[in-house]
Each structure stands twice: as structure tokens, then as C-alpha cells.
Amino acid sequence: MDFRDTASQAVWRGEVRQFLKQELPQELTGQFFTRAPQATKPLWDKWRGALASRGWVAPAWPAEYGGAGLSPMEQFILNEEFAEHRAPNVGGLGVMMLGPTLIAAGTEEQKRQHIPRILDGSVQWCQGYSEPGSGSDLASLQTRAVRDGDDFVINGQKIWTSLAHIADWMFCLARTDPDAPKHRGITYFLFDMKTPGITVRPLVNMAGGHDFNEVFFEDVRVPSKNIIGEVNRGWYVGTTTLDFERSSIGNSIGSRQVVERNLVWFREHRAEVAPTDYEAVRLQWVDRWIEVQAATLLAYRIISMQAAGQIPNYESSIAKLFNTELIQRTAKTGAKMMGLWGDIIDERAPMKGMNAYRYVDQVRETLAGGTSEIQRNIIATRGLGLPRA
């Protein structure tokens, strides 16, 4: 593998860097908000406008839908430079998941209604997939949708619904044929979160954060025009994506940056760490540093496949598994380095309590987006050709 940019790639990278130098407000570096705080809203609006002018809110989308139609390698370089500069993403689930589904399977009316509002940020989306008894085995979901004239009436529950408490709309899978095999009989719905019968309850994590929610549906009426694709074919619609870059280079760069920030503190505060702890933690940071390089190589492997016209499968599972477990190991090493301060989440603690916060907050990393167990099963069956258990 040649890690050097080609001449055209170097030009593209320079263009992205120049854009970030000119357009990225320093106050927004490292930030993430679905709803921008009022105090910084003008900066967020300016940043979104700069991205939109180039189609970079949704760079993988075709130009006719407001995207940039970038190739996988162009997306990779864009994502790599954005991660290096800690530039915030403004697209959310609307760009990552719903938009590609609408482009591939939506009606023209649905595209006209939703795509512009995804791109300008006026409507935020949440995903209604997981249920209390249907997480890893999503196809076993039991939330029911029953036809009633031109509407469907939905009853059931979703859980771990990220940002449902501030989302405007939801894209949701519900069972419309209980007698069909579990991957069939599922339909893909869109609906306004203000529809009567929807109740959102917060799920606060161990770090005191509120991203997740549980959502209850009681006789929620959804017009049939809000179905994406065909009735009872929603499972196949829900797996629709564009061929976008999915190397997770941002995760590996983010992990490297966390390791670097910890190493700076470790060097500057060596006298505050007991000698035996110092030696033990020093060797652990060596391991973490090597691992972030390995994570970067996994990302390069995936993008090299996509650039060659191949579709990564188990390779993406390897990268996801390695990255999320690395994130947790890094948090554990950081907390151990702090000694007793590693248990304190407080801005007055060393590094403003970052390591203690990360240690409890990032338990979820190996669960969200497909558990480590699921990833290992994919690697075993699709990568190693082992039989299913």
C-alpha cells in the first residue's frame, strides 16, 4: 500500500485544509450539538452555510440532491482532515441514514419534503429501531402498525433512541404482518414526533449524560404516504445505503488525539505519579499508541478496498470492533494514570475530569452500532468461513 497522496489527492487535501483554515470558527472545534446553543448559533449557521455551499453537509450524496458526489477517496481525505482539525459534523442521522434511504427508495414528494430540511438543519431526526427485546436481533421487533383506512396505527415501544427528546421527526421500523417470517412483514415509516400518542422518557447514562431515550407509541396515526418503499418490505429499505466512505478514520484520529492529550499531562506531571504506577502506566500508553496506529491502518485498508471498487464487509466489523474496544482501553489507562483522581468527574480535577468521565461514558461504545459479540460473529462467519453457532 502506498500511503502517499497522488498529485490530484494532494491538491484536494490542500483545498480541504485551506477551507478549514478560512471557514472553521475556532470556538466550534471539538464541539457537538444537534441544536446549537443560542450564544453560538450565528457561528454554527455560518459553518453550516460554508459546508452547504460546497455540498459538504452530505458529501456522499449526488449533486442533484444537494451533496457533493465525492468519490470514496475524496470523502476519506475530507473526513481525515476534518478529524485532524476537530471540525464538527452538522448532518446527524438525517444525513447519515435517512437521506441515503430517501434518495434510493423515497417518492419524489418525500424527497422534496425532507431532503432540503435535512441539509439546512431545520429538522432533526431520530431512529426508531431497537426495542427492549429486539436489539441485537432487530428483525424480531414487535412494535405493531395496523392499517386503518389511509393511515396506520402504531403501538409499541422503542429504546436507546438517541436524541429523541430533541428530534423533530423519526424514521421507524414497525411490524405490519405478524404472520410473515421475521425479516418480512416490517414497514419503514416516517412521522412527526409531535404526533399524538408519542411519549419520550429520558435514559440517563452513568456519566450523567442524556442522549438516549425510550419512546412509547399509543395509537399513533401515521398516513400511508409516509411509508418509504413498499409495505412489508421495510427491512430491505432500512438496510439501504449509498456507497459512502466508511473507514472510521475519524474514530482512529480521535483516539490518537486523546492519547496525545494524556501523554502531555503524563510528561508534565510525572512527579505527581507514584514511581510504580508511572512505570506500569507508561507501558500501557506505549500499547495505546501502537494500537491507534493499528486502528489507522485498518481504516486505510477499508478505503483502499473502496477505492478499488470493492465493498468492505467483515473488514468494517474488524475496524468497528478494534476501535470501540480501543476507546475503552484508552479511557481505562487514562483513569488509572490519575490515581484517585481517576474516579472524579469534576472540572476542578486534573484534565477537568476528562478521564473519569470517559471511563464511565464510553461503556456504551462496544454496544452501540452492533455489539462486539455481533462483530465477532460477522468476522468469524464472513471473514473466517466458520459455521454459525
Q: What is the pLDDT of residues 316-348, one digit of tens each?
A: 999 999 999 999 999 999 999 998 899 999 999
- Sign of the alpha-carbon dihedral angle for 244, 249, 255, 258: negative
- Which pTM does this prediction carry? 0.88
> Are residues 271 and 213 part of one domain?
no
74 is catalytic: no
114 lies in some domain: no
Residue (of 340, 373, 345) closest to 359 by Cα position? 345
How many whole angstroms from its chain centre is CA 109?
Answer: 27
Q: Where a domain ends, among 74, 90, 106?
A: 90
**Total domain count, the chain:** 3
> Are residues 137 and 83 part of one domain?
no
174 lies in some domain: yes
| Integer Cα distance of 367 and 348 in angstroms | 31
Q: What is the CA radius of gyration of the chain?
A: 22
What is the mean pLDDT of the segment spanning 125-143?
90
Q: Which amino acid is at 32?
A: F
Instruction: Give one DSSP letter per residue of 94-133, joined into a string.
Output: IIIIIHHHHHHH--HHHHHHHHHHHHTTSS-EEEE--BTT
| Integer Cα distance of 294 and 323 in angstroms | 9
Q: Where a domain ends, among 65, 90, 115?
A: 90
137 lies in some domain: yes
Kind and range of the H or E element at 214?
strand 212-223
96 lies in some domain: no
351 lies in some domain: yes
> Are residues 218 and 176 part of one domain?
yes
112 lies in some domain: no
> Are residues 75 and 133 part of one domain?
no
346 lies in some domain: yes
Q: Which of 131, 214, 245, 365 is catalytic?
A: 245
Grid coordinates of 364: 456504551
Looking up residue 374, the CATH number of its domain turns out to be 1.20.140.10
Q: Does residue 242 have a pLDDT over 70? A: no
378 lies in some domain: yes
Residue (of 357, 351, 356, 353) closest to 265 by Cα position? 351
Q: What confidence score (pLDDT) does residue 368 get?
A: 82
Range of the domain at 81: 7-90
Residue (of 296, 291, 293, 314) closest to 247 by Cα position? 296
CB atoms within 10 A of CB 177: 13
What's the whole-number average pLDDT of the chain? Answer: 92
